[in-house]
Copies of this chain bind each other. A is one copy, B any other.
Amino acid sequence: MVVAIIGVGLIGGSLAISLKEKGMASRVIGVDQQEQNIKKALDLKLIDAAATLDEAMQQAQLIILAIPVDALMQLLPAMLDKVQPQHVIMDVGSTKKKILELVAGHPNRGRFVAAHPMAGTEYSGPEAAIPNLFTNRTMVLCDVKNSDEDALEIIETLVDALQMRLVYMNAEEHDLHTAYVSHISHITSFALALTVLKKEKEQGRIFELASGGFESTVRLAKSSPDMWVPIFKHNRNNVLDVLDEHIHQLQQMKQLLEEEDYDAFYKLIQKSNKIRKILK
C-alpha cells in the first residue's frame, strides 16, 4: 500500500520507518510545509519521495496526518471534500473532541479514522524519528462507529503491524484521560524548568547537583511549543481541571509543611506511593 505522511516530524517520521519495516507500506510519500523537513526526511531515507498534498492524495491509499492539532483542523475538512472511496485518512493528534466535532457532519466522515498513538519523546523534527517508537505502546481509536468498516479495518491492521495495544474510546473520554496522564505532565515539567531556570539566574550553579530524578521530572520541558500550545488550547477545559487539582495538591503539601504536620505529610506520601501498583 502507498502511504502518504503529512508532517514528517518525530511521529510521522517514526511511522514511516515502522510501516516500511513491517511491510505495511510499499512506498512512503512525504508532505511537509517546511522545505528543510522534506530535505532531511529524504536524506534520512524516511520517505521515498516528496509531494504536495494534492499529489499525495492522488498516489496514496492511506494518508496519515502527523501535524500539530491546530494545523490538522485547517487541513482535514478540505481533505475530506476531495477524498475518494479508496482513501483512508488517519490522524495522530493528541486531542480528539474538537477535531471530531469539526468533521461530524461531513458526508465523507466515514473515510476518516481518529487515532492517537500514546508514544513520543521530548524531541521533534525528522531527525528525532526512531524505529520501534510504537512497539508495545497503546493506540487509541476514537468514535470508531463513525468510520467506515473497511477504513477501520485498514487502521486496525496497521495497529497490529506496529505491534501496538489497541484501545477504543470516545473522544470526550480520550481528552479527559490524556489531560491527566499526558498533558499535565508536560505542564508540570514546563513549570518546573521555569522555576529552576529562574533560580539559576539569581544564584548560579543550581544545575551542578542535578541528577537522574531532576532530569526525569523536567525532560518533557524540552518539548516543542508548536505541538503543545494547540493541544492545551484544544483541551483547555480538561487541562484547567487537572491543573486546578494539581495546584490544590501542591498547596495542601505546602500547608502541611508550614504547619509542620509531618504525620499528615507522611500519610500523603504513602498515599501517592500507590502509584507503584500502576507503574511497573
Q: Show the binding face of A for B, using Cβ within 8 Å.
A: 118-122, 137-138, 140, 167, 173-174, 176-178, 180-182, 184-199, 203, 205-225, 228-229, 232-233, 236, 239-240, 242-247, 249-251, 253-254, 257-258, 260, 262, 265-266, 268-276, 278-279
| Distance from A224 Cβ to chain B, minimum over Cβ atoms (Å) | 8
**A223: which B residues are within 8 A, CB to CB?**
269, 273
Q: Across the interface, do A203 and B176 meet the contact criterion of CB distance under 8 Å? A: yes
Q: Across the interface, do A272 and B236 meet the contact criterion of CB distance under 8 Å? A: no
Residue of B nearest to A275 (CB): B193
**A246: which B residues are within 8 A, CB to CB?**
191-192, 195, 250
Q: Which of A181, A184, A224, A273 has the most CB of B within 10 A?
A: A181
Q: Across the interface, do A253 and B262 meet the contact criterion of CB distance under 8 Å? A: no
With the chains together, A234 CA to B233 CA distance in Å? Answer: 41
23 pairs, A vs B, C-beta closer than 8 Å: A119-B211, A121-B212, A138-B208, A167-B208, A176-B203, A177-B205, A181-B211, A182-B210, A184-B195, A185-B216, A185-B217, A188-B217, A190-B269, A191-B246, A193-B273, A195-B249, A219-B279, A221-B275, A225-B270, A232-B262, A239-B257, A243-B250, A247-B250
| Distance from A132 Cβ to chain B, minimum over Cβ atoms (Å) | 13
With the chains together, A24 CA to B192 CA distance in Å? Answer: 39
With the chains together, A88 CA to B16 CA distance in Å? Answer: 59
| Distance from A26 Cβ to chain B, minimum over Cβ atoms (Å) | 29
With known contacts A167-B208, A210-B278, A271–B197 Cβ distance under 8 A: yes
A225 in complex: contacting residue of B122, B216, B220, B273, CB < 8 Å? B273
**A184: which B residues are within 8 A, CB to CB?**
192, 195-196
With the chains together, A209 CA to B57 CA distance in Å? Answer: 31
7 further A-B contacts with Cβ under 8 Å, apart from A186-B213, A225-B273, A243-B253, are A185-B218, A187-B253, A190-B253, A191-B249, A195-B246, A221-B273, A247-B254
